[in-house]
Amino acid sequence: MEADEEVHFEGGSGDRITFLRKVTEIEDGVEVEKTYLFSFNLSGNKDDDLADRLSCVFTMVLLGAFAVYTAFLQFIIHKSPIDCWCPAEFTDSHVEYVQNYCWISYTYYVPPSEGLSQNDEVRRRHLIKYYPWIPVILLLMALMFKLPNVLWRLISNSSGINLGHLARLASDTKEMTWDERQQSIEHTSVYIERWLQLHRKKENAFKNTLCGKRSGNYLPAIYIFIKCLYCLNVIGQFFLLDAVLGQHFYLNLGVDFFGRRRSEINQLGLVEFPRVAMCDFKIRQLSNVQSWTVQCVLPFNMFFESFFFILWFWYAFVAMVTCGSLVLWLWRVFFPINKMLFIEKLLEINPDLRDKEMTKEKLRNKERFHKKKEFRRFVNEYLRQEGAFALRIVQRNSSDVYASDLTAKLWLRFINNFNDK
């Protein structure tokens, strides 16, 4: 069976990129054309926010793509990722040996203005340790950006509610008819109410204190912890790259690039990303050991320098957004008035409840939801912190209108089933 295949980019829709793969196969002498549609979701599982997706989706894809691209260049396109200037008496096999040896061992940089010292310690002040390991380093960094998201999925799913499923139900309503939308709201409200009822059942004192699973604070507390991991990860990777690329270099790269470090750049690049390096090796011939030093070209450092420079600014952007998101969620979770005002806003914009609960006379008297005893019980005893958190996830993945209708449905269920208890 022979096959020809053709892949086309079909475009993106929202947060999804779609590709079309057409394959022509010859089966029993007859051409058969088959079409495969596959897509890549850039939005994650929708149980987080944009700041989280900057780390666990966009940054992970960026690092992973460059790691694959670098490995492809190093091991497939180029015969050798390092080229060394060897003495004329070296045969082709000798040159190949030298280049393979210098590739797997450390090279070092010597400024053109300095002579080659005989002292090994002086020679190795600028060791280039990272050059053969860039694809591996980038893949490990990508996995580190994904790790908090994996941990969040594992812990949130063990809480009794699938926030990803809940958010998808909310997101899918954008393309539903009115009747389907109402059925979705009814289904989602029942789903949330059963989860809230389960978590109100008291088992023992330990599980109902602080951030236990039945405390009503479990999911928000875990989410704040995951947010802290995202912040620690992106900031920690600055220090990781600083250790890999050169002490006190990467932390100041973006700041110093437009200042004093511009004077350190020439046609051979930054000191930490030299285009030319030296390599020492020894050859044993019977009882004699000969020491050689050759000059080698590191062609990929031109790409590495540009990529890590861009990555510094991307990391700085992700760090600011992630830390800002952490502060915002701390404000939302640990200040009860924010929870009250959020739920109140969702109820007040619902037209049905506004007509029933908020007459013109009450509006003139400024009698608002949060001043009602029933409303405070609804927020503090029925929804609690976890219910409000789930509604925030729904709102961020659908719209204020859908979140308002869902909150109104939960409010009516509370009035009918819970308020008299």
Per-residue pLDDT of 287-302, as tens digits, reads: 788 888 899 999 898 8
SS3 11: strand
| Structure confidence at residue 160 (pLDDT) | 75
Q: The whole model's pTM is what?
A: 0.78
| Structure confidence at residue 24 (pLDDT) | 61
The Cα–Cα gap between 396 and 361 comes to: 33
The Cα–Cα gap between 233 and 219 comes to: 21
Judge whether residue 318 has pLDDT over 50. Answer: yes
Each residue's pLDDT tens digit, 242-274: 888 765 666 667 666 665 555 555 444 567 788
Name 291's bridge partners: 282
Q: How confident is the model at residue 40 (pLDDT cuts 50, 70, 90)?
A: very low
Q: Which two tokens stand for residue 98?
A: 């030298």
At residue 393's C-alpha, the angle toward residues 390 and 398, to 5°, is 125
Each residue's pLDDT tens digit, 360-399: 444 444 455 555 788 888 888 888 888 999 899 888 877 8
Q: How confident is the model at residue 241 (pLDDT cuts 50, 70, 90)?
A: confident
Judge whether residue 1 has pLDDT over 80. Answer: no
Name 284's bridge partners: 289
* Strands, sheet with 30-41, edge to edge from the N-terminal-most edge strand: 2-13, 16-27, 30-41
**What is the full DSSP assignment across 30-44?**
EEEEEEEEEEEESST
Lowest mean pLDDT among 336-340, 355-359, 408-412: 355-359
| Structure confidence at residue 73 (pLDDT) | 84
| Structure confidence at residue 218 (pLDDT) | 86
Each residue's pLDDT tens digit, 118-176: 777 777 777 888 888 999 999 999 999 999 999 998 888 877 777 877 877 777 777 77
Each residue's pLDDT tens digit, 84-119: 999 988 999 999 999 999 988 888 888 877 777 777
When the pLDDT of each residue in the chain is averaged and rounded to a whole number, the result is 78
> Of 1-5, 83-87, 225-229, 401-405, which has the strongest mean pLDDT?
225-229
CA atoms within 13 A on the CB side of 242: 14
Each residue's pLDDT tens digit, 58-90: 999 999 999 999 988 887 777 678 999 999 889
More confident residue, 171 or 36: 171
Q: How confident is the model at residue 322 (pLDDT cuts 50, 70, 90)?
A: very high
SS3 204: coil
Averaged pLDDT, 202-225:
66
| Structure confidence at residue 183 (pLDDT) | 86
Judge whether residue 186 has pLDDT over 60. Answer: yes
> What ranges do the domains of the chain cover?
2-41, 50-143+236-321, 185-212+335-418
Lowest mean pLDDT among 21-25, 160-164, 228-232: 21-25
